């Protein structure tokens, strides 16, 4: 499938850009080669990752700021001509080695770019297509009834309900020949009268577009004839896209005229035969128009039995481009459902009242239902997912461990005994050897005594480590040399065993409610005096209480302070076993979660103010401890269910937080990446904001807004850039791998992540 871009594309690079900038652009393009141009926009060459590798391999060392794009580019790439047929260009892409092709004119000026990417469309600042949120267009059409004030009212409501764009219609005064009106049938006579009654002149339309832009809405206009299109362009109206109505699907002159404006074009397919859709699709591709098709039934309102949302997938197959749904049904459920059928664009008429005079009001969404429609579309997109092989979600993994089954012993065993099949039973939780791992324990000798009913864990058996201990020791040494103080998270029950495996200078105790009732003297000795201590405070308690310094409930605040006091009393004893430090760091989750949705701005600011005041109270009260609030993901898991975080998540909320307190922070890399994924932000912007505050790092990879605590290398985080972006201080930055279930199998996931992180950083000096 050939996908076209214009010269505003992310794939364009000037020949004088630095190699550093080229590398950044290649990350944005996800590896698709860059088109390198001269100052006059003529083609200089193409740069791929392969071209960069060849260049680097030919040099002993390079300075990414002194090497320019023109030094690396392949100056003899595959090119296409602007007059080439669509089939010819698509044929070039059949070569799997060719992924990006510049399309040039006779002066070698780059006019278009074509790639082998999956199709997507960019309108305004938004990408539209598979993997992106549906683009929501509120069509005002003629529902303003020719009243400029009503048009602005509808624009304002569309903006308030978080639509992406508004759409208008424009017809020239000569579209219908009024001298022939008397000879037309009754339906046509009615339509002509309605269009005359509801028409906005071009200056009024321009005023509407300006008002829409002021309300952060993209503007799209359907031009119903060539003179109307000419009026729009002559007034220099700021458009994000053009629309070709269903009635003009076969209007080739209009297609040609629209293509000259180099705007994205949305094409409706109501009233059409499939052969006409195929012809229109080929024409749009031949004209190299960035375009999308909308499935549509052009009756007002459309009867449910005629809507046929299943045709959306058929339309994608025919056009091989971005496809959406144009709604004329007047029912919010239908456009919401269309998302599940694959619609990437939703267009729906809006009105103040379905009972208003005019042709389109009954087929429109009333303003008082618009917010429900938008929220429903957001939910439909979230639950749609992708057709990948099934894997458990983050919340399911938590519950899988809690509710799953592990092998336990049906009698008392002594150290040195070999486990027999007849003595095995299955009980919960699923934290040990699961039902499909029986062969790993039969015949293995126990290293310690086990009571009847005890779950068998890997550390109980004579099993070799699943990772290379020498590589682990070298990795820890390397991280120390690079400015880190590496450690691992531990609990009382595994601290001695993991300390014996990991020769690290730092331990972070992750406390549970029950751990605070234990005595450190039962688990520790004088062998920890050369190790730094960090403590992770309790967030969730066995009685269901969740720590929250942001709560408006005074009882919750009171208990939160009581729980901190209990923790401090416990750590007062624990710290005596470790290296002396005037202030012991305590990682803390501040709270501020909500159950149903994110907070509105005013409520959020109130919680933030309360939160930082309470944090500052803790800092002042416990001078021998340093409280480190942890950066958070958008969705925390509380007691097996998902909540919404409101503190230390988005870039703005990070900036708000540090403006109200001088507290240092624990930068949780996975948490912050998840927030960036959800809020469409850059992880390194967050890191730059917090760089002077980062005292401690929780290191883990992540893939999306709900894939927390992955092993290093299993997600999408650029750890080399992460390392380079850290504000290195004279003292070493404390860091532990915060990997989901990393403690299992003798800390295997902790070890592999430490090794992989060290190996990635070693690439910097190669």
Distance of CA 155 to the CA centre of its chain: 28
Mark whether 578 and 671 lie in a shared domain: yes
pLDDT at res. 190: 46
Residues 373, 455, single domain; the answer is no
Residue 638's pLDDT is 67
Do 408 and 378 belong to one domain? no
Name which of 560, 536, 535, 538 is nearest 550 in CA terms. Answer: 560
Domain boundary residue among 429, 460, 491?
460
Q: What is the CATH number of the domain that holds 515?
A: 3.20.20.150
Is residue 754 in a domain? Answer: yes
CA distance 64 to 18: 7
Q: Identify the helix (H) or strand (E) that includes residue 687.
A: helix 683-690
Same domain, 221 and 235: yes
Q: Which domain holds residue 48?
A: 3-115
Q: What is the CATH number for 28?
A: 3.10.580.10
Assess if residue 41 is contained within a domain: yes
| 471 to 315, 476, 477, 484: CA distances (angstroms) | 54, 9, 10, 17
Asked if residue 743 lies in contact with residue 494, where contact means CB atoms within 8 angstroms, the answer is: yes
Residue 245's CATH number = 3.20.20.70
Please check whether residue 59 lies inside any domain of the structure.
yes
Residues 448 and 570 in one domain: no
Choosing from 432, 460, 488, the residue where a domain stops is 460
Q: DSSP letters along 603-643, please?
A: HHHHHHHHHHHHHHHHHHH-TTEEEEEBP--SS-EETTEE-
In this structure, are residues 312 and 343 in contact, taking their beta carbons and an 8 Å threshold? yes
Is 297:347 a contact under the CB 8 Å cutoff? no
d(CA 516, CA 587): 16
Q: What is the DSSP track for 155-189?
A: HHHHHHTT-SEEEEEE--TTSS-GGGGGGS-HHHH
In a domain, 749, yes or no: yes
In a domain, 712, yes or no: yes
The structure tokens listed for 735 are 């860091």
377 in helix, strand or coil?
A: helix
Buried b (16+ CB within 10 A) or exposed e, 300-336: bbbeeeebebebbeebbebbbbbbbbbbbbbbbebbb
Q: How far is CA 56 from CA 14, 72, 334, 621, in A?
A: 20, 9, 55, 56
Judge if 283 and 413 occupy the same domain.
Answer: no
Q: Which long-range contacts link 29-36 to residues 24+ away (Cβ below 8 Å)?
A: 32/99, 32/100, 32/115, 32/117, 33/99, 33/100, 34/69, 34/100, 35/9, 35/11, 35/100, 35/102, 35/110, 35/113, 36/69, 36/70, 36/73
Q: Are residues 326 and 183 in the same domain?
A: yes
> 443, 460, 477 — which closes off a domain?
460
Could you tell me the CA-to-CA distances from 530 to 141, 578, 580 in Å, in that order? Answer: 73, 7, 9
Share of the chain above pLDDT 90, in %: 54
Domain CATH for 404: 3.90.1210.10
pLDDT at 165: 95
Q: Do 215 and 265 belong together in one domain?
A: yes
Both 233 and 293 in one domain: the answer is: yes
Q: Are residues 437 and 473 in the same domain?
A: no
Q: Is residue 616 part of a domain?
A: yes
Q: Evaluate whether residue 38 is within a structural domain.
A: yes
Instruction: State if pTM tops 0.85.
Output: no
pLDDT (tens digit per residue) in 53-70? 888 777 655 665 678 888
The answer to whether position 304 is within a domain reads: yes
Contact 584, 569 (CB under 8 A): no
Ranges under pLDDT 70 in the chain: 1-9, 59-65, 96, 173-198, 359, 394, 638-641, 727-730, 763-766
In terms of domains, do 310 and 452 share one?
no
* Cβ contacts of 346 within 8 Å, gap of 6 or more: 134, 135, 136, 137, 324, 325, 327, 335, 338, 339, 377
Do 540 and 681 belong together in one domain?
Answer: yes
Do 243 and 269 meet the contact criterion of CB atoms below 8 Å apart?
Answer: no
pLDDT digits (tens, 9 = 90+) for 283-313: 998 888 889 999 999 888 888 899 999 999 9
* Contact yes or no for 295/329 (Cβ under 8 A): no
Question: How many domains are there within the chain?
Answer: 4
């Amino acid at each position: 499938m050939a996908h076209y871009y214009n010269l505003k594309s992310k794939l364009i690079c000037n020949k004088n850009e630095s190699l550093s900038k080229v590398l950044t652009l290649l990350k944005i393009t996800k590896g698709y080669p860059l088109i390198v141009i001269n100052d006059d926009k003529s083609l200089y060459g193409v740069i791929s990752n392969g071209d960069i590798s060849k260049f680097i391999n030919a040099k002993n060392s390079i300075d990414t700021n002194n090497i320019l794009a023109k030094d690396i580019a392949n100056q003899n790439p595959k090119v296409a001509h602007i007059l080439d047929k669509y089939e010819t260009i698509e044929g070039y892409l059949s070569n799997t080695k060719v992924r990006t092709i510049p399309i040039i004119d006779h002066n070698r000026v780059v006019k278009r770019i074509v790639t082998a990417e999956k199709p997507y469309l960019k309108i305004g600042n938004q990408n539209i297509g598979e993997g992106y949120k549906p683009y929501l267009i509120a069509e005002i059409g003629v529902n303003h009834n020719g009243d400029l004030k009503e048009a602005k009212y509808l624009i304002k409501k569309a903006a308030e309900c978080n639509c992406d764009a508004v759409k208008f219609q424009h017809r020239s005064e000569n579209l219908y020949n009024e001298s022939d009106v008397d000879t037309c049938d009754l339906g046509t006579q009615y339509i002509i009268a309605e269009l005359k009654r509801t028409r906005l002149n071009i200056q009024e339309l321009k005023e509407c577009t300006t008002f829409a832009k002021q309300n952060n809405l993209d503007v799209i206009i359907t031009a119903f004839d060539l003179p109307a299109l000419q009026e729009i362009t002559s007034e220099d109206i700021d458009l994000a896209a053009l629309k070709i109505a269903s009635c003009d699907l076969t209007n080739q002159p209009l297609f040609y005229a629209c293509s000259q404006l180099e705007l994205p074009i949305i094409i409706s397919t109501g009233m059409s035969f499939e052969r006409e859709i195929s012809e229109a699709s080929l024409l749009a591709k031949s004209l190299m128009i960035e375009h999308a098709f909308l499935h549509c039934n052009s009756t007002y309102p459309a009867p449910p039995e005629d809507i046929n949302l299943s045709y959306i997938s058929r339309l994608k197959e025919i056009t091989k481009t971005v496809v959406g749904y144009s709604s004329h049904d007047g029912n919010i459920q239908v456009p919401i459902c269309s998302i599940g059928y694959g619609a990437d664009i939703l267009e729906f008429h809006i009105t103040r009242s379905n009972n208003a005079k005019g042709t389109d009001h009954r087929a429109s969404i009333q303003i008082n239902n618009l917010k429900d429609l938008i929220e429903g579309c957001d939910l439909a997109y979230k639950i749609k997912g992708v057709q990948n092989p099934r894997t458990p979600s983050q919340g399911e993994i938590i519950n899988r461990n809690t509710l799953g089954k592990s092998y336990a012993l049906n009698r008392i065993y002594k150290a040195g005994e070999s486990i027999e099949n007849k003595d095995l039973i299955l009980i919960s939780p699923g934290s040990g050897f699961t039902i499909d791992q029986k062969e790993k324990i039969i015949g293995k000798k126990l290293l310690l005594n086990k009571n009847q009913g005890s779950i068998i864990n890997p550390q109980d058996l004579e099993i070799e480590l699943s990772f290379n201990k020498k590589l682990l020791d070298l990795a820890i040494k390397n991280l120390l040399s690079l400015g880190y103080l590496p450690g691992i998270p531990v609990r009382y029950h595994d601290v001695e065993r993991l300390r014996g495996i990991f020769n690290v200078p730092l331990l972070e105790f992750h406390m549970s409610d029950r751990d605070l009732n234990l005595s450190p003297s039962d688990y520790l000795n004088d062998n920890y005096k050369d190790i730094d201590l960090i403590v992770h405070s309790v967030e969730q308690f066995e009685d269901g209480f969740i720590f929250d310094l942001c709560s408006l409930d005074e009882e919750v605040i009171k208990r939160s302070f009581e729980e901190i006091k209990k923790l401090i009393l416990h750590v007062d004893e624990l710290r005596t076993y470790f290296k002396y430090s005037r202030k012991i760091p305590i990682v803390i989750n501040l709270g501020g979660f909500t159950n149903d949705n994110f907070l509105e701005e005013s409520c959020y600011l109130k919680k933030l103010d309360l939160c930082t005041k309470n944090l500052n109270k803790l800092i002042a009260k416990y001078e021998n401890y340093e409280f480190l609030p942890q950066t958070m993901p958008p969705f925390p898991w509380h007691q097996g269910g998902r909540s919404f975080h409101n503190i230390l998540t988005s870039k703005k909320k990070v900036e708000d937080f540090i403006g109200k307190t001088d507290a240092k922070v624990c930068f949780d890399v996975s948490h912050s990446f998840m927030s960036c994924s959800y809020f469409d932000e850059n992880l390194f912007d967050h890191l730059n904001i917090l760089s002077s505050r980062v005292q401690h790092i929780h290191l883990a990879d992540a893939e999306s807004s709900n894939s927390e605590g992955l092993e290093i290398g299993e997600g999408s985080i650029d750890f080399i850039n992460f390392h380079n972006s850290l504000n290195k201080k004279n003292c070493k930055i404390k860091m532990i791998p915060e990997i989901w279930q990393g403690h299992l199998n003798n800390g295997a996931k902790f070890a592999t992540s430490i090794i992989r992180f060290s190996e990635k950083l070693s690439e910097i000096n190669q």
